[in-house]
Structure 1
Amino acid sequence: MKPIYSFFLLVVLSFILQVKAFGQRTVVSGIVRDAVTKETLPNVSVFFKDTKIGIQTDVNGKYTLVSPDPQNEISFNYVGYRAVFKNIMPSATQELDIALVPDSRALDEVIIVGGKKVKYRNKDNPAVELIRQVIAHKDENRIKSYNTVSFRQYEKMLFSLSNVSDKFKSKRMFRNYQFLFQEQDSTLIGGKNLLPVYIQEQLSNHYLSKDPEKNKTVVIAEKQVNFDSRYIDNKGMKTYFDRMYQDIDIYKNNISVISNEFLSPISDGAPAFYKFFITDTLKNQKPQVIELSFTPRNTNDMLFEGKIYVTNDSHYAVTGASFGVNKNINLNFVRALKIDLDFEANNKGKYSLSKSNLLADFGIGKTKGIGFTGERTVTYKNYQFDTVLPDTIFQGKSTVVLGDAAKKDDKFWEQNRLDTISKNQLKIYGNIDTLQNLPSFKRTMKIVTLLFAGYQNLGPYEIGPVNTFYSFNNVEGLRLRVGGRTTPELSKRYYFENYLAYGIKDEKWKFFLSGTYSLNNKSIYEFPQNYIRASFQRDTKIPGQELQFVQEDNFLLSFKRGVNDMLLYNDFYRLDYVKEFENHFSYNLGFKKWSQTPAGGLNYLNGANQSVNRLSTSEISLQLRYAPNEKFYQGKIYRVPIADRYPVFNLRYTAGLKGVFGGEYNYHNLMGSIDKRFYLSQLGYSDVTFEGGYIAGKVPFPLLAIHRANQTYAYQLNSYNLMNFLEFVSDHYVSINIDHNFNGFFFNKVPLIKRLKLREVVSFKALYGGLRNENNPNLQSGLYRFPVYENGAQRTYALGNEPYMEGSVGVGNIFKLLRVDLVRRFNYLNNPEVSEWGIRARVKFDF
């Protein structure tokens, strides 16, 4: 899931910033058509005369142009048509439809074809033949075609408030924020005024080598708006924005934009998904450049539409591109998207990317209401090709940030920026600092943090998470809990966390205490972590339930299906040392003393049918984790990964120590897993997990691998959603979990259905395992017996010769937030209290 927390914080910030009075605005809207064919014209450039305020018409030829100041004249320009200039009424809102006349001087000939509309075909289509030539010459035109490359790069990320309503200008709640709105940025998209609220900049040197393949990035300078770290993870927010706004390489088969994979118009399979048209030839350039327009065959698919410019010679190189997305695309919250790429001829006679601009406008509604506009502009200079690069350049990490990169002064930035920056944009740095010192803004952020992160900040201590304050289950009945943790305001070295809970039905107190010491003088929630933690916990737990990004006593998980009366009372004594490295390798060395007491419908009976009140173990463990190129957002409770194509490896070894602090068993437990996302272009993506485990030693069933079951009504990605708690245990197993999202590939092609922007999901999970004879209580009298129901029916089993399997088909993106799955369990249906079918739901925020 994306970092929803930061998104909503920015939304709240947007409402605080909606107070700008527009003054005497000039607003012009209308439709641009071809004067001959009467067809609407997309991508027509519309500008107020002698200003930089301009837009392009959309796919239906519509435009809305807004200026905060009076304007007298407007211009319309389109390749192959005569330019039009019209006088307008200043300081007024008006409609102006335009008919552009083809310019015969720019065309070799005009062919008018009567009769029925000709069906589009790839065969004998000169535009398709041209794009196939471009595809065939991709390798020679890519930057990777050179032996070595070096260049300097400047990037600017700007987030602005869009579509600000003047209704807010007189609201009392905004009277303290007028200093933010003395001037408004003149940048526009779709006629919407933009008010900058966030900015980040970076200046870096890049080095690439073809053979051997190496790359190195040296960040010389960087700066960004920094929000209060108590409320927003600034590094995580920057990482999230960088993931959404990645570098645009049109020569790649797939282009990642807004966390989605779009098929490039010059990908190997582009002719099967796009329609291409030759729309102009620019003969005043050498070599001549052909304008090639393209549009999706299916406007709902993850595809672009726009124009690319290609040299009319033997190289078929791209010299420029301007494209966006169709209004019908199955993309959430994106009102508009525009990408511009500029290429320049280099000293090798080829073309290199000189500037890229990605601009996206986000909002809940299609056109109305407040929104956000994000813009990333990247400028490339000082290209050097096929020069000798010393091996020392590539030593160490692939990305290096110089120690003083964040300390560069304004004079340095003025001298070294490779692109212009407006005064209004520069004001953002100081304005946000001033904003965060206002008491009213601090109060607002505290409320938002409580609502979306679950913690109420009280300075050195914060209370939460609030969604655990009330829950219930069959054993404890109504469960009340209160707790919290210290913050860096108390200490950057020492951290303490605690809670106290009470069950009304079982009349038992539960509590947790922990103390953590940071060894690198950083917050223990900041990457890279390096700390020692000691903790004690006395609380309940459902055997085999392992949850991600949520706590077991979350109120919403109190609602469960079937018989749910097995619980453990646990005493945990833990000592952990955690060490992370910059390359995202980490290890956790720990010691745990665990005493567990069965409760509710769970009983521990030995071979003599005698009840065992307590099972005690002592363990040492080592967990290794490697997540190359991992990116994440650090929330208040969990570190939320930002999904990407890179794998994550986990390996954990645990040894039971008999006779140490009361430990009753010797055993060895080894578990490993690999998680990876596979992008399949237009067919969406698959999240795949392989896992395996082996336990050596003779142990009772509570110490075996209790497979992750789910008896809630929420769809859990990493659990078996139709398996009952403690239904299966193993001492050796392997499993595979596949969850595939088609991104609407099929629904997009069904009339009427496609208008709902639904997305198809399928999943399959298989678990193969078993018990050796030494750990099977049906064969060994000295082991704990498997649990049974009140009627004597067995509750816990070992897997047989066939794997446990379940699958699901689902519909995602319902109301842009909900996923609902129909889940089927394929086997082991004769076990008591199981269901063959089930419906599960999951909230999933996605673009």
Structure 2
Amino acid sequence: MKNKIQFLLLFILFPLITWGQTKVSGKIIDSNNQEVPYASVYFKNSTEGVVANEYGKFYLESAKSYTTLVISFVGYKTLEIPLTERTNLNMNVVLELDNLLGEVKIFVGKTSKKNNPAIDILRKIWERKRKNGLNMFARYEYDKYEKIEFDLNSIDSAYQNKKLFRGMEFIFKQMDTSKVTGKTYLPIFINENIAQVYGDNDNNRKREKSLGNKNSGFDTNQHIIAFVKDLYAEYNIYNNYIKIFDKDFVSPLSRTGINVYNYVLADSAFIEDKWCYNIVYYPRRKGELTFKGDFWVNDSTFAIKKIAMEASKDANINWVKDIYIEQEFEVVNDSVFLLTRDHFMSDFALSKKESSKGVYGKRTSIYKNHKFDIKHPDEFYAEKVNYFDESMYKRDDEFWKSYRFEPLSKDELGVYKMLDTLKTVPKFRMLFDLTSTIIGNYYHIDKYKFDYGPIFSTFGYNDIEGLRLRTGGRTYYGPNDKWRLEGYGAYGFKDNQFKYGVSGRVLLDNDTRLILYGGNRRDIEQIGVSLTESKDVLGRSFASSSLFASGDNTKLTKINLSTLGLEIEPVKNLKFETTFSFKTLRAASDQFNLDYYVDKENNIIADETKQSEIMASIEYTPGRKTVGYGVDRTDIDNKYLRLYLRYTQGLKGVLDSDFKYEKLQLYVSKPLLLGGFGTLTPILEVGKTFGEVPLGLLNVVPGNQSWFNIQNTFANLNYYEFVTDEYASLHLEHNFGGRLFSRIPWLRDFNLREIVGVRGMYGKISHGNIDLNASSIQYKAPEDIYYEYYFAIGNIFKIFRLDFSWRGNYLDMPDSRKFAVRGSFAIYF
């Protein structure tokens, strides 16, 4: 998510206005000068309208000409305002209380759940929601056109005259005006996609085949591509919750809606010869993930014909000032309503102030040419593992003219040419390269097809190396490279030793993602912070080079690791892998050792472990989505199930290897979105080592002596406090997302988020392994189930999380830490 937010900073660095036929804006107050929130604002004798926000402000624009504006709210007299001009902005509207409607004034503010006709209609929507649209057919297919656009908004003359834009003034020729907010904006990015969609409701299968994709720029950065794809996930307004930016907003059509929304039956009218009711809804409480808006629903099928949703201004979401959704449905016959148009707009900004400048992110999807009950074989729906059709990205203008369901505006068409021109401007290239470096953690040198980095690993510190400097890079011709070489060099100013690492990967078969990889690393590592080791030969834990740490961090290991392996993905998201590795391990200082007895009489001690291993693993990640078709891919989202099973065989005698053993490990994780109750993240790890091995090959319970959070470690444990050869670890964390704090008035405005968690570990160590031990570590296993519990406050200043952790037991162990404070920086919506 951090990459996604930083990506927006690129657009915030950059900013013929087109007018609709009728444009109005203003603020609604009552006779006491109090704001009237959520009033209905619409053009007379039309279904074009909006709902004022919580401050009584509104903006409405139409391509048609209207002469009368109607403003109404139950409990107030309906007001009709003549429109003498085509544009009427900043109107000050005063509504008067309707004294004749005293018996229904209960609808002012919170509305009644009883004897409310709007809720009666809502219940009928619930009854029919599974019987409308595509759900009525066993199989369906349709054509889909999708356009994603980013626009710099709130452009004024002062902004255009900034020094930043000198030499780039031509970009302002593409400016336009938003029909939703009335703000001027500058289109700066467009991505178009044409696809055919096939679905099978009987077997819950779906396939989307892309026919063409056109991008106005930034198509070489995988992190940007992943951001664009994940920014606007698909949603269904009939579901109880609508997931937007990793947040679960309560749908106004959900069964739980009556607990968080007020509903008012506002109007009724014909829409395309169908009699429809208009229902206005708005939040019952502040600070919750809710919308305000209205919808039109048919009086016989109770299917939605049109709906508008705008997120509450005070919703607990970062970096987003406004979210607006509009969907339209087509009447196929008396009982079938199909989604034909879906428009989503968000206003990204560093502040939610009305005057703050930001970036509009807009997605428009149009659906046409529906067909039903055409049967396809099961293999038709099988998802390709790594399908890539390069011609899809090279469609000519004639293709797009024939496949676009609606033409691009003059300003949108101009964006393609504008971006091509901008890329020739040195100042723009500098800004783009700087932002891409921050996002991707690498600085790209196009002349040499080389990425320098990772830049955030340049500096490090630990008790053995002291200050550590690192430099490195990788080959990079593009996001779909079939091969990649990487390497680094590092130097510690305290131990005066040079370290290095090199690796290579090559994609041998595109369809099954058969990849050959290998490498070598000589470095210093804290090997006591992970139960399931990474296969990344260049990997290095945060604990090994933390600039800020507590306690003694001298228990570091010199590691010389070489690997050679193959991985294959014969079925989408099912990966098999086998790796051969050889490593030598020895202590990095005299203050710690990994010694073990060589003979049964305990007379001979070895201080170095040499070990050859062969590893085989299976990884299953259903629901995982990625971008990139080369040797490297980038995840779009991390909310998928990960099931990882690994078997390791120690090969004694191979390359003078010391031990024979077997090791079995299982890792399972799956974030669970619990609707309005937040996200629960369980992580389970279990493992067992069969055979007698020294400390360097056992499973050390991962401690954390840094001041920052490290996933799957124990904040109150020191390194090597527990050692096992058989273990089970469970981490449970629940993020309420601010649901509790939002109920506390004096805390609500800070948008803090409450997190609670517990983590535990059970483990054993065999007598054989205890007898083998000659190291400086006295083995102890958590046979009584060691556990910690913690409470965290997230979203502090929108970027910081603070954890308070308590040790649950084993309080009498030497140097045991009963309480720990850990922090982490992250940027989330």
TM normalised by structure 2 equals: 0.88
Question: Percent same amino acid at aligned positions?
Answer: 26
Q: Matches of residues 198-237 of structure 1 in structure 2 within 5 Å?
A: 198-227=189-218, 229=220, 232-233=221-222, 236-237=223-224
Q: List per-residue Cα deviations over 1:376-418 (Å, max 9, x = no partner).
A: 1111222234x34233683432898777433322112212222
What is the match of residue 620 of structure 2? 626
1:338-363: CA deviations, max 9, x gaps? 11121221135332222111111110
- The whole-number CA distance in structure 1 between the counterparts of 2:482 and 2:249 is 45
AA matched with 1:361: D
1:467-546 correspondence runs (5 A) = 467-488=456-477, 495-519=484-508, 530-546=514-530
In structure 2, do the counterparts of structure 1 residues 319 and 540 end up closer, same or farther at CA, with 3 Å as the change threshold?
Answer: same
Tell me the secondary structure at the aligned position of residue 176 of structure 1: coil
State the one-letter code of the partner of 1:260: K
Q: Structure 1 residues 821, 633: CA separation in 2 closer, same or farther (over 3 Å shift)?
A: farther
1:352 matches 2:338: yes
Match of 1:785 among 774, 786, 794: 774
Q: Residues 196, 420 of structure 1: CA spacing in aligned structure 2 closer, same or farther, 3 A cutoff?
A: same
Name the counterpart of 1:196: 187
Shift of 1:285: 7.2
1:482 partner amino acid: T
Match of 2:304 in 1: 318
SS of the residue aligned with 1:484? Answer: strand
* Deviation per residue, 1:301-326 (Å, 9 max, x gap): 1122211222223x322222112122
Give the conservation status (yes or no) of the 8 Å contact 2:452–2:474.
yes
Cα deviation, 1:228-248, whole Å, max 9, x if unaligned, reads 62xx21xx5344333331233
CA contact (8 A) 2:542 2:710 kept: no
Q: Shift of the alpha carbon at 1:757?
A: 0.9
Which secondary structure does the structure 1 equivalent of 2:517 belong to? Answer: strand
Choose from 606, 609, 633 the match for 1:612: 606
- 157-166 vs 804-813, which deviates more? 157-166
1:569 paired with 2:561, answer no
CA 1:715–1:475: 2 relative to 1, 3 Å: same
Specify every segment of 5 or more residues in structure 2 that has no aligned partner in the other structure, as ranges. none
Return the match for 2:54 from 26, 36, 59: 59
Query: SS at the partner of 1:98?
Result: strand
Looking at structure 2, the residues matched to 443 and 115 of structure 1 have their Cα atoms a distance apart, in angstroms, of 60
1:431 aligns with 2:418: yes
Query: Is the partner of 2:527 in helix, strand or coil?
Result: coil
RMSD value, Cα: 3.9
Task: Note if 1:602 corresponds to 2:599.
Answer: no
1:613 to partner: Cα distance: 2.5
Does the 8 Å CA contact 1:46/1:74 hold for their aligned counterparts? no
Query: How does 1:714-793 map onto structure 2 within 5 Å?
Result: 714-775=708-769, 777=770, 780=771, 783-788=772-777
Aligned to 2:177: 186
**Residue number in structure 2 paired with 1:656:** 650
User: Which residue is equivalent to 1:585?
Assistant: 574
- Mean Cα displacement is larger for which, 342-351 or 455-464? 455-464
How far the C-alpha of 1:472 sits from its partner, in A, is: 2.0
Relative to structure 1, the CA distance from residue 554 to residue 464 in structure 2 (aligned partners, 3 Å threshold; closer, same or farther) is: farther
Does the CA contact (< 8 Å) of 1:540 and 1:569 recur in 2? yes
Q: How does 1:20-59 map to 2 (within 5 A)?
A: 30-33=26-29, 40=36, 42=38, 57-59=52-54
Candidates 685, 690, 694, aligned match of 1:700: 694
SS of equivalent residue, structure 2 residue 174:
coil
Of 417-426 and 820-829, deviating more is 417-426
How far does residue 700 in structure 1 lie from its aligned partner after superposition?
A: 1.6
Relative to structure 1, the CA distance from residue 689 to residue 639 in structure 2 (aligned partners, 3 Å threshold; closer, same or farther) is: farther
Residue number in structure 1 paired with 2:377:
391
- 1:87-486 to 2 correspondences below 5 Å: 87=84, 95-99=90-94, 111-113=101-103, 120-227=111-218, 229=220, 232-233=221-222, 236-282=223-269, 287-313=274-300, 315-347=301-333, 349-366=335-352, 367-385=354-372, 387-391=373-377, 394-397=380-383, 404-458=391-445, 459-460=447-448, 461-486=450-475
- Mapped partners of 2:232, 2:162: distance in 1: 35
Asked if the contact 2:342/2:364 (under 8 Å) is kept, the reply is: yes
Alpha-carbon distance in 2 for matches of 1:264, 1:196: 30
CA distance in 2, matches of 1:187, 1:761: 38
1:730-770 per-position Cα deviation (integer Å, ceiling 9, x unaligned):
22222221121111111111111111111111111121221
**In structure 1, C-alpha distance between the alignment counterparts of 2:378 and 2:595, rounded to whole Å:** 66
1:838 is aligned, of 810, 820, 825, to: 820
| In structure 2, distance between residues paired with 1:267 and 1:490 | 41
The aligned counterpart of 2:640 is: 646
Alpha carbons of structure 1 residues 654 and 119: separation in structure 2 relative to 1, 3 Å:
closer
- Picking from 64, 69, 78, the partner of 1:76 is 69
Q: What SS does the corresponding residue of 2:664 show, helix, strand or coil? A: strand
Distance 1:597 1:98 in 2: 78
Counterpart CA distance in 2 for 1:372 and 1:455 is 25
SS for the counterpart of 1:558 is: coil
CA contact (8 A) 1:483 1:498 kept: yes
Aligned-partner Cα distance in 2 for 1:476–1:611: 26
Distance in structure 2 (CA, Å) of the matches to 1:688 and 1:481: 35
Which whole-Å CA distance do the structure 2 matches of 1:637 and 1:831 have between them? Answer: 47
Aligned residues of 1:722 and 1:838 also touching (Cα < 8 A): yes
| Superposition deviation, residue 151 in structure 1 | 2.1
Deviation at 1:489, TM superposition (A): 8.2
Cα 1:638/1:283, change in 2 over 3 Å: closer
**From 772, 777, 781, the counterpart of 1:798:** 781
Label 1:517 to 1:383 Cα distance change in 2 as closer, same or farther (>3 A).
closer
Q: Secondary structure at the match of 2:415?
A: helix
Q: CA deviation at 1:32?
A: 3.2
Q: Distance in 1 between matches of 2:608 and 2:468?
A: 23
What is the DSSP-based 3-state SS (H/G/I as helix, E as strand, rest coil) of the residue aligned with 2:703?
coil
The amino acid across from 1:507 in the alignment is N
Counterpart position of 1:14: 12
On the 8 A contact 2:468/2:490 being kept in 1, the answer is yes
Distance 2:105 2:128 in 1: 38
Contact 1:66–1:192 (8 Å) recurs in 2? no
- After superposition, give the CA deviation of every residue in 1:787-818 in whole Å (9 maximum; x if it has no partner): 34xxxxx4x42222x21211211111111111
Distance 1:635 1:179, change over 3 A: farther
Task: Please tell me the residue identity of whatever aligns with 1:565.
Answer: T
Flag the 1:168–1:308 CA change in 2: closer, same or farther, 3 A: closer
| Cα offset, 1:636, TM superposition | 14
Q: Equivalent residue for 1:50? A: none
Moved more, 191-200 or 581-590: 581-590
Q: How far is the alpha carbon of 1:656 from its aligned partner?
A: 0.8
What is the SS of the residue equivalent to 2:680? Answer: strand
| In structure 2, C-alpha distance between the alignment counterparts of 1:808 and 1:338, rounded to whole Å | 37
Contact 2:51 2:294 in 1 (8 A): no
- Report the Cα distance in structure 1 between the residues aligned to 2:587 and 2:476, rounded to whole angstroms: 36
